[in-house]
Amino acid sequence: MSLESLTSLVTQRQFARRAEKFLPSLWAEVGDLFERHPGPIFFGNGAPAPELMPIARLQEAASRVWAEAGTRLGYTEAAGYAPLRVLIAERMAGQGMRTIPDEIMVTNGSQQGIDLIARLMLDPGDMVIVEGPTYLGAIQAFDAYEAEYLVIPMDEEGIELNALERAIAGAMRLPKLLYTIPTFQNPTGRTQSRERREGLLAIARRHGILVVEDDPYGELRVSGTPEPNLRALDPGVVYLGTFSKTIAPGLRVGWTAAPADLIGPLVSAREAADVHGERTTSRIVHQIAGGSLDDHLVIARAGYRRRRNTMLAALHTAMPEGVRWQEPEGGFFLWLELPEHLDAEALLPLAATHGVTYMPGGWFFPDRRSCSAARLSYSSIGEDRIEEGIQRLGAAISEALGQKP
Ligand code: PMP
């Protein structure tokens, strides 16, 4: 829907003022992109590969769960299935994050966690600190509560601390939240160094800003050594986890781990949206997470490692001079930086004529700015298609730069 027709719908239907900010549906836009350019290799999909989802294990677990369904399909369990909360607490403890089940609420994906924190914390005009670029879905959630943003630039080691200090000092109001994806960030694939993590927490503590650590990809490390989670360094951090990337996004099972005094208000905020979560899929996930998940993750990591390596090797041979990228150590994404005078969104139609599309970097900023970078996802595409797609992209960029491919 065009911005003009959206604006007129908002007026005609007397929608709230904020609707104009969050109504353009990202997924409708991505769908449009497909429709306009059918058939190309699409590097935009941030989902796991279907062949790396444990479907047979899910089927088995589902039939066991349904055999026992009985009378438990009524209301309750507003904070989620208790045994799953215990298991999540144990898994987090295994990763150095001391957490008890009372600090955990199971959510409808981690996206709901972002929404509920925003719902609980943000009055219109409140400031949220985000990395620039950041996760699109978080921008959508914060926009719905009429947040204002402090967008902090990143380098190879993540959020820049001097810029963070300066932005807070120069802000009209003290920001309320600092939302960050420190590990295998969406969209850049970057991981914050330990020094940055400690620095970020120190700054947030000094100003009394609540830190939200979004960590959907942390368990999908394929090289390098892990950095401690922010929540491992500071139990006051709100941590968002999910089974969307480790099992499957369609299950919609994630969680929020927060200081215990925040869980009650978050559960109340959630009741206003959906009373409580479902009571069947979380039991299926509990069976997998308590059983074969670690075995599955070994297979999944090997698959993502192969895909990442294929993309890196293809980039080395296909990209013209002046294009840069950083090797992600895990997760699903790689951030491709084109020469600065190229706008990745403006390049899309040409790329599509070469048979390849991607997510332009500008989409990952709250102000949708012009940006010369693109997010390339390697998670859901087979290796031969990755190779072919990168060759096509290299040819498109070369053409835009006026070079022979
Ligand atoms: N946060 C980030 C950084 C993500 O990349 C995603 C999914 N793309 C989410 C949250 C939402 O995931 P979920 O399916 O758990 O809602």
Token pair, residue 299, equals 């297979």
Determine which residue's CA is closest to atom 5 belonging to ligand 1: 186
Residue 109: HSE in the Cβ half-sphere, 13 Å Cα cutoff: 12
Mutate to test the pocket of ligand 1, among 179, 240, 242, 246 (most ligand atoms within 8 A of CB): 242
Question: The tokens 């993590």 sit on which residue?
Answer: 197
User: What separation in Å is there between the alpha carbon of 80 and the centre of ligand 1?
Assistant: 19
Give dist(CA 209, CA 231) in Å, integer. 14
SS (H, E, C) the chain: CCHHHHHHHHHHCCCCCCHHHHCCCHHHHHHHHHHHCCCCEECCCCCCCHHHCCHHHHHHHHHHHHHCCCCCCCCCCCCCCHHHHHHHHHHHHHCCCCCCHHHEEEECHHHHHHHHHHHHHCCCCCEEEEEECCCHHHHHHHHHCCCEEEEEEEECCEECHHHHHHHHHHCCCCCCEEEECCCCCCCCCCCCCHHHHHHHHHHHHHHCCEEEEECCCCCCECCCCCCCCHHHHCCCCEEEEECCCCCCHHHCCEEEECCHHHHHHHHHHHHHHHCCCCCCHHHHHHHHHCCCHHHHHHHHHHHHHHHHHHHHHHHHHHCCCCCECCCCCECCEEEEECCCCCCHHHHHHHHHHCCEECEEHHHHCCCCCCCCEEEEECCCCCHHHHHHHHHHHHHHHHHHCCCCC
User: What separation in Å is there between the alpha carbon of 94 and the centre of ligand 1?
Assistant: 22
Determine which residue's CA is closest to atom 13 belonging to ligand 1: 109
- Indicate the pTM of the whole model: 0.95
User: What separation in Å is there between the alpha carbon of 85 and the centre of ligand 1?
Assistant: 19
pLDDT tens per residue, range 308-348: 999 999 999 999 999 999 999 999 999 999 999 999 999 99
What pLDDT is attached to residue 16? 87
Determine which residue's CA is closest to atom 8 belonging to ligand 1: 46
What pLDDT is attached to residue 74? 85
Give dist(CA 14, CA 17) in Å, integer. 8
User: What separation in Å is there between the alpha carbon of 256 and the centre of ligand 1?
Assistant: 12
Q: Could you give the angle at the alpha carbon of 223 between the alpha carbons of 217 and 229, nearest 5°?
A: 45
Token pair, residue 274, equals 């959906």
Token pair, residue 219, equals 């368990």
Q: What is the position in ligand 1's atom list of the atom closest to the CA of 249?
A: 14
What pLDDT is attached to residue 405? 60
What pLDDT is attached to residue 37? 65
Query: Which residues does a 6 A CB cutoff place in the pocket of ligand 1?
Result: 46, 109-111, 135, 137, 181, 186, 214, 216, 242, 244, 249, 254
User: What separation in Å is there between the alpha carbon of 147 and the centre of ligand 1?
Assistant: 19
User: What separation in Å is there between the alpha carbon of 109 and the centre of ligand 1?
Assistant: 7
- Measured in degrees and rounded to the nearest 5, phi and psi for residue 142 equal -70, -35
Intervals of the chain under pLDDT 50: none
Q: What is the position in ligand 1's atom list of the atom closest to the CA of 252?
A: 14
Give dist(CA 150, CA 271) in Å, integer. 30
Q: What is the position in ligand 1's atom list of the atom closest to the CA of 181?
A: 3
Q: Is the dihedral of CA 171, 172, 177, 181 positive or negative?
A: negative
Task: Evaluate the omega torsion of the peptide bond into residue 249 and state whether it is cis, within 30 degrees of 0.
Answer: no
What pLDDT is attached to residue 109? 97
User: What separation in Å is there between the alpha carbon of 295 and the centre of ligand 1?
Assistant: 23
User: What separation in Å is there between the alpha carbon of 48 and the centre of ligand 1?
Assistant: 12
User: What separation in Å is there between the alpha carbon of 111 and the centre of ligand 1?
Assistant: 6
Q: What is the position in ligand 1's atom list of the atom closest to the CA of 113?
A: 16
Q: What is the position in ligand 1's atom list of the atom closest to the CA of 47?
A: 8
